[in-house]
Structure 1
Amino acid sequence: MPEDNFPTKSSHKIRLITNALTAALKLWLRAQVSQVSQLEVEIKASDRQILSGCIPWVSIFASHAVYQGLYITRIKLIAENIQINIGSVLKGKPLRLLEIVPVVGDLIVEEKDLNNSLASELLSTALNDVLVKLLPENCLQSQPKWQKIILDNNQITLFANSGATTENIPLEVRFDLKLIGNQELQLIHIQVIKNDVALLEGEHNYHLDLGSDVDIQELSLIPGQLVCRGRINVNP
């Protein structure tokens, strides 16, 4: 039988390295989340690139993942020109990034997952910070307990209970969400209603700077779903 029908030692070695890298990357990704239903990783690299610690292209898909209490319905990421500690990985040590990695991604968060995220410190703290900035002179005596989020066409409505532990004073916050450029969100037509009393209404708006590591190409709200497409820099 011709020799070409058998894999060479070199190609077999590279396959082992690719498999080891894929497994290491999956382990690293699983360590970043507390829960994930589906996780797929694909690596495209030549033998020379792999052995030099450079991965020119990686695709990652995950569904129903939980990151620091944030529930993500589906996410697909593509990264290029990744520099990693290949020598340590081949010795069984954790994968580590050596340089900043620009990652292009598509993110979908369904309304039910966004509601599950209300218990996370990241989301609740962010909502509380926005509320304090919207109402600096009418700051609530106690932090609200966020109960529900409703997603509509380019609009978000939040419901919470405010007041002391023994009280259940209803609080409603409603605003339209708009992407300005690629690194700034604008909340417009903001309404804040507490116990049927309007604390804020009219043409009030609020700007949120996403930072230089973020480049959002699309951010859309439809009933029951948030869709985001863009780029983010992942730091080592």
Structure 2
Amino acid sequence: MNDPLLQLISSGLKLWLRSRCDQIGSIELELKGSGLGLLTGRLAGVHLSARDVCFQGLPLQHVNLDSEAINLDLQLLQPGRMLALQQPFKVMGSVTFQGSALNDALLTSPWNWLGDWLAEQLMGITPLGALRIRDDLLELEAPIAGHQNPQQQRFRVDAEAGTVIFRSDDGSTTGRTSTALPMDANIQIEQATLSAGRLLLSGHARVTPD
């Protein structure tokens, strides 16, 4: 990206993204196209790579995204807005969660509701006590009233029908044998993988104008 105008807009977008996130360790942003194309309201695409991101309390170890061509409505640009979309566009890519960081997030506000939901749906009890990634399995732990030892159960994670599916790995019928994670209709998960203490989600999303 050697175009001076695209470099200027890219620098501004990086600052804007940092202002919208709780934390960003590092970020690379490439605008594809030309300054002339931008002035006519079109970008050929955007590539984003970021590490150690915290967005609304959700820790993302790595984010890697690419967009299709973006049409902008320059007449709608307002102070404080970096881009004004003319029509929806698709973003493809992946996000990686580090297991221990995801555990911390699911045990505290604002995401503890999701941790408790997982424990209730998958094990039939709440609250969630711990989440661990062990090889290619997700292990959940929840305290049991009147018992010294907590309940533990392991699950396989897959992507089906645009979302994440959890299946019990030990044949237990304590909770549901298969549970789908509620997902925004604009987000489609195509791959879910557990490995080396990390959860990798790949897919695409539809970004729409405000």
TM-score, normalization by structure 2: 0.79
Corresponding residue of 2:97: 109
- The 3-state SS of whatever aligns with 2:23 is coil
Asked whether the equivalents of residues 64 and 94 of structure 2 are also in contact (C-alpha less than 8 Å), the reply is yes
Gaps of 5+ in 1: 1-11, 192-197
Q: Say yes or no: does 1:151 pair with 2:125.
A: no
Q: Say yes or no: does 1:185 pair with 2:158.
A: no
Asked whether the equivalents of residues 190 and 205 of structure 1 are also in contact (C-alpha less than 8 Å), the reply is no
Moved over 6 A (4+): none
The RMSD of aligned alpha carbons is 3.3
Tell me, in whole angstroms, the C-alpha distance in 2 between the residues paired with 1:185 and 1:128.
17
**Cα 1:115–1:154 shift into 2, 3 Å:** same
Q: Say yes or no: does 1:33 pair with 2:21.
A: yes
Identical aligned residues as a percent = 20
- The 3-state SS of whatever aligns with 2:83 is coil
Q: Map residues 191-210 of structure 1 onto 2, 5 A cutoff.
A: 200=174, 204-210=177-183
Tell me, in whole angstroms, the C-alpha distance in 2 between the residues paired with 1:131 and 1:38.
33
Q: Specify the structure having the higher radius of gyration (Cα).
A: 1
Report the count of equivalent residues: 207
Asked whether the equivalents of residues 48 and 65 of structure 2 are also in contact (C-alpha less than 8 Å), the reply is yes
Asked whether the equivalents of residues 154 and 178 of structure 1 are also in contact (C-alpha less than 8 Å), the reply is no
- C-alpha distance after superposition, 1:8-48 (max 9, x if no partner): xxxx9x62x22331122112211221101101111121233
Equivalent of residue 94 in structure 1, options 81, 99, 104: 81
Gaps of 5+ in 2: none
- The 3-state SS of whatever aligns with 1:200 is coil
Q: Say yes or no: does 1:218 pair with 2:191.
A: yes
Corresponding residue of 1:18: 6
TM-score, normalization by structure 1: 0.72
Asked whether the equivalents of residues 92 and 204 of structure 2 are also in contact (C-alpha less than 8 Å), the reply is yes
Asked whether the equivalents of residues 89 and 206 of structure 2 are also in contact (C-alpha less than 8 Å), the reply is yes
